[in-house]
Chains A and B, each alone.
Chain A
Amino acid sequence: MWIKAVSQPTLGKMTSDYKRFSGNDMFALYPQLKTQREGAGSFEAEQTSSAKRLAVWIRERKPGYSLPDYQLSAGAWTLMHSAKPGMGLLSWTRVSISTPAELETHPYTASPEEMASTVKTAARLYGAGLVGIAPMNEAYVNCQAPQPDPQSKQDRQPIDIVFEDVDVPLVTATKRVIPKKMKWVVAIAIPMDIDLLSRAPTSLGDAATALGYSHSAFVVSSLAEFIRGLGYQAIPSVNDTAQSIPFAIDAGIGELSRLNKLVTPEYGPAVRLCKVFTDLPMAYDKPIDFGLVEFCKKCKKCAEACPSRALSFDDAPSFKTRGPWNNPGHEAWFEDSYKCFEYWQRVNSGCGVCVASCPYTKGAQAWIHEAVKATASIAPTTDGVFRVMDNAFGYGKQHDPEKWWTNDPPSGGRG
């Protein structure tokens, strides 16, 4: 009732100069930017000192960085690290499932609403927290993908991602082809483990991210095979190939926030996003409005909590980008990813403080949080009071890393 379906997203309006993103995110840009800003060798020096610092922290058993803490995160990455876009788990074509023809039957048909329901149910079973169906929007798809094999003779030239009138997706050494008939996107949010996330920024906090990614790889690869088994084409994608956030917004999973990340009404920003492109006809969902943008305008808790001061303190979102890591031509609270990523090197972790500190990131056990979210949505005048209370009640502070190992984690880390 307090989550309203709307015709247009509440934030993220695009202008005519919007272009498909190059795919050059901070991971790709950082070494070059570091060198530009601090001179030759600065990136390598930073990596060396970061590795040395980590070794000392592990040896000294710094809370959140002991060997079990560090390896908990490393272990959780296993599935995601073996999932390379376009191959293996994330193959763009059938891996092993039987096609309807092999089962001597026809592709499955049903009404778009029934199809959507069937696919959402399957996704939920595989581990999706939230699922929505969005129309394909070529603007959200990156124009290039990084070369998957660093030893490739292609000299690490990026691979073009193109849309063509073909029957099946195509992955070659020079291009990736998405069939134009793929007009549906199953957008998926995987909830992160709040217990681990509340230990950010440490290796334990990282484990929540790692687990979220590995769950994502499992969910999209399973769902893509399921769809292929029904007789249709499917492309599974985690962070690769396209921007997950705009698809998730269009699919009604959440709204764009001050973090420049998706915030969902159910899990706040504590989700990992992934998607499956398909030609299986389904009923589309609509974007939602649960009062988040108005809340973000007043709150600013994430920006205050951010240790590297990377998040925007602007009262309202704008079209003003902060660097080449931002894709211009759309409205947002843009972040300084350079500062963010530099801090990651200092703490040897993917931080996550902004996500953990967001007032929408709450454990699922206390009923009161649902009532607060609903009230904030219906009566935005209460936003300021809730923001003050969130601080007064001590939410968003780092939990004791050492205590995590004495807790009984929920099965599969969905606390």
Chain B
Amino acid sequence: MTMMYEGGTLTIITRKRPWWQWVLAFAWLLSEVLLLQTALASMKEEEYRAGSICWIALIILATAGVIAWLRQRGFRWPDESGREH
């Protein structure tokens, strides 16, 4: 869903997500859960290197997921003047 306000008119655009985005989102969520579980379990089992690798992968994947989600929602980074560009 995207909201735009222009010339006193509020436009709401809703788009149906394509099926592959749902598959991708599910795979992302599954990977995050698996990485989190492995990271926690590895640290508990004193497999610190495996745990660290999993934590790093978890953070990278989480960041990538959030960016992809924001972009998909039409998010724009504000410029120096505070307006979206």
Contact = CB atoms under 8 A, between A and B. Distances in A.
Interface stretch (B16-24, B41-49, B67-75): B41-49
Interface in B24-78: 34, 37-38, 41-42, 44-50, 53
A393 interface: yes
Interface in A376-415: 392-395, 399-400, 403
A368 B54 CA distance: 11
Interface residues of B, number: 13
Contact of A363 (B37, B41, B48): B41
Nearest to B34: A368
Contact of B45 (A366, A367, A400): A366
Contact of A367 (B38, B44, B47, B50): B38
A375 B50 CA distance: 19
A393 B44 contact: no
A365 interface: yes
A198 interface: yes
- A interface secondary structure, majority: loop
Contact of B47 (A395, A400, A403): A395
A74 B31 CA distance: 44
A365 B50 contact: no
Contacts of B37: 366-368
Contacts of B53: 392-393
A198 B48 CA distance: 13
A395 B47 CA distance: 7
A363 B40 CA distance: 12
Nearest to B37: A367
Contact of A393 (B34, B41, B46, B50): B50
Nearest to A403: B46
B42 A366 contact: yes
B49 A393 contact: yes
Contacts of A368: 34, 37-38
Contact of A395 (B34, B41, B44, B50): B50
Contacts of B42: 366
8 contacts: A195-B46, A363-B41, A365-B44, A366-B42, A393-B49, A393-B53, A394-B47, A394-B49
Given A367-B37, A368-B38, 8 more contacts: A366-B37, A367-B38, A367-B41, A368-B34, A368-B37, A393-B50, A394-B48, A394-B49
Interface of B: 34, 37-38, 41-42, 44-50, 53
The 10 closest A-B pairs by CB, nearest first: A394-B49, A365-B41, A366-B41, A363-B45, A393-B50, A368-B38, A366-B38, A399-B46, A367-B37, A365-B45
